[in-house]
Structure 1
Amino acid sequence: MSTFDEKWVLCPICGAKTRLRLLQRTVLLHFPLFCPKCRKESIINAQNFQIEIIDQPDAKTQC
């Protein structure tokens, strides 16, 4: 039985712990991360425990 390093993903908005854990070899691309505390969603990339937040423009309203 081998042990893996794992870390909880923290919300980039409020800093609370989310329900997602990462292993060191986990790779996420354009992943929608939802925070149950602040109820916001962020799009992230993750690799080697490094998390990058992808800025998304707000939806434009139609006239």
Structure 2
Amino acid sequence: MLEKYWIKCPICNGKTRVQVFYNTVLRNFPLFCPKCKLTHIIDVEKLEIIIKNSEKQKEGY
């Protein structure tokens, strides 16, 4: 069975709500951090996180 890993926020190092396997590949994934309230556009390959963009979460809808 594959082991799951939590993706941590690249800014505050807080735990997000996303888990990945070692062989998971994500491109242009919007990662939201509930601790620092930022959304980061990231790429993930072999558990290596590359930040493409960070933006503050907008209030409301």
What TM-score, normalized by structure 1, do the two folds share?
A: 0.78
From 37, 40, 43, give the equivalent of 1:42: 40
Q: Unaligned regions of 5+ residues in structure 1, if any?
A: 57-63
Q: By percentage of residues, which structure has more strand?
A: 2
Q: Give the AA of the match of 2:34.
A: P
Q: Unaligned regions of 5+ residues in structure 2, if any?
A: 55-61
Aligned length: 55
Could you say which structure has the larger radius of gyration?
Answer: 1
What TM-score, normalized by structure 2, do the two folds share?
A: 0.80
Identity level (%) = 43
Distance 1:20 1:9 in 2: 6
